[in-house]
Structure 1
Amino acid sequence: MPKVTETVLEIDLDSLAHNYNFLRSKLNPTTKFMAVVKAFAYGSEAPATAIKLEKLGVDYLAVAYANEGIALRNGGIKTPILVLHPLAANFASIIDYGLEPSIYSIKILLEFLEVANSMNQKDYPIHLKFNTGLNRLGFGENDLELVSDHLLKATDVRVVSAFSHLAASEDKSERAFTLDQIAIYETIFHKLGGNLGYVPMKHILNTSGIINYPEAQFNMVRSGIGLYGYGNEPSVDAHLKPMATLKTLISQLHRIGTHESVGYNRAYLSDKPRVTATLPLGHADGIGRHYGNGNTFVSINGQKAPIIGNVCMDMIMVDVTEIDCQEGDEVIVFGHHPTAEEFAFTAQTISYELLSGISQRVKRVIIGK
């Protein structure tokens, strides 16, 4: 790669392919794969990611909101796209762009049926979301009869899948809870199929579910974080490759004396003469203030450089006293070392938050094919 001259997020499509193939290897040949590309593909670059996944043969894509799916359609994506959290204001656009809504409440169902009818739809594909313990979105089991009654009267839509979401599939100590969720879901699904007179697709597993509960893969699985290189446990991470690497450079070096301060509010006071490096990224780029004051480190010439002082909007400062470096040298914020998971852990957060929070002002650079 050429020398970094600005802060960039490198998106490695070869790593994406590696991760996809690893997760696929855990599935039966007939099991469909839904790739979650919401939030700019977990902070990376959604169109390029979706195009690569389409070439790899993914069966479905999933986004959170309609505008994300519309952007993919405008980027040429033809693969079916599930909108996980559709809002009534976007129903007409969802139909216009051939997106498939997750229907999660009676109110949303009735509103979508009204719009579908007004747009003269026939058997428009929808997905039903059932709540089995996450308590976020979804119908309850006690909604089944009413949902079924409305659907049996409607010719505007057809249920493509009925799904749920595991709350703690990565946590081995919550195995009993997860198995209970799966059992509740299977009961709901069986009743739904009996009511509708046909059998939709069935899916409940996320990335950790694929690894820990392969017996519940049913017709399809959904993966988000695993595609981007993180499996929620070290033994899985060892088989995955981080897709995104955040790189920057040293803008300026400073030599400071004993008891001199660095940054806003004099949050860092040196205990001896030190050398600091200023880097051109900050909390406006997604590196929040919780990473400051020695909690976290970046990598410069293969060595750890702790972040010191408060993170600024556009800059962070790191201690390079023991590192042989100069202005213009490359800095790895996260990637392979430290990984996004390691970087996030130092501030007691998770890779999901870090990755999805990288600002769109950070330039994306696509590598791989």
Structure 2
Amino acid sequence: MSEQNKSHVDSGVDLLADRFVDPGLPEHKERMSDKDPKAAKRAELQVSILFLISIIGTIASIVVFFAIRPEGTTESVRNANLALGLSIGFALLGIGTAAVHWAKALMSDHEVVDERHPLESTPEDREAAVAELTQGVKDANIERRTVLKGTMITALALFPLTIAVPLVSSVGGDWDVSKFRHTIWKRGTRLTTDPNGRPLKASDVTLGSVVHIIPEATEEERSSHHWITEKAKAVVLLVRLDPKDLKETEERKSWSYDGIVAYSKICTHVGCPVALYEQQTHHLLCPCHQSTFDVADGAKVVFGPAKRALPQLPITVDDEGYLIAQDDFNEPIGPSYWERLK
């Protein structure tokens, strides 16, 4: 900054200083806990109770994790997740509300103004900061409030168990990545609409339309936890184009039917559902990170962070005109993993 410009800035600052008077800090108002030892004791007890709620929530989450296990049905999965979520919620809520109440009722609430200074503090400033922190600890009377201190330390020490126990218990579980190479699509499996499971005929799919597809299954199968998990890997987006717009290799010419093509809905970037179709360009967009795939050209990537085309589901029709799968997807669905070359 030139000397002239600096002079103008300084003049402007001086002018503002003359026009606006520094109001200073408002008069400090003491809280009930500052004036009444009984009120301070009540606040301490309330904070301890909140930390105790957190401790109970942590213990409950561990008990729930082992006692309420999913049994393969949607209802059991929902109940297990609900119980675990509520118990962890109480554990977090107890710590959070205790910290807020402690700060508002027991810690020093005197307003302090620090003048701006260079980023690098002087040794004197650092010593002063340590002294202020030490004084703050004294103001909070942590040493004398043994019950509060004990419940706080216990709550903070136990809470990581809500994450560590489920994580550790999963070690040694199912690490078979081969399951990612295949889905429940098999030769002859009918394509049905998602979510009602209605079989779909080729004649039902109009030009330019998009249909969300899942494999055909019985009512009993659709209610099982295993099928719900497998369905998540097998979801398909079906699109009907004008056959002359398709750019198909010789290998893939038999994978479509009269302009109808089927691709995995799971983005090859990080696995988000790809479902935004632009009819005029035949582009399919992933809403998470804007990866864009060309449905007319083998669902190849035309934009975005995805590196691989969407896997294609080879389809045809049966004797009744219903769309069926010729086989599973041409390659593993979803993002890359450590045993995949690409």
- Judge same fold: TM > 0.5, yes or no: no
- State the structure with bigger RCO (CA 8 A, min sep 6), 1 or 2: 1
Question: Which structure has greater helix proportion?
Answer: 2
Question: Which structure has greater strand proportion?
Answer: 1
> Which of these two proteins has the greater Rg computed from alpha carbons?
2
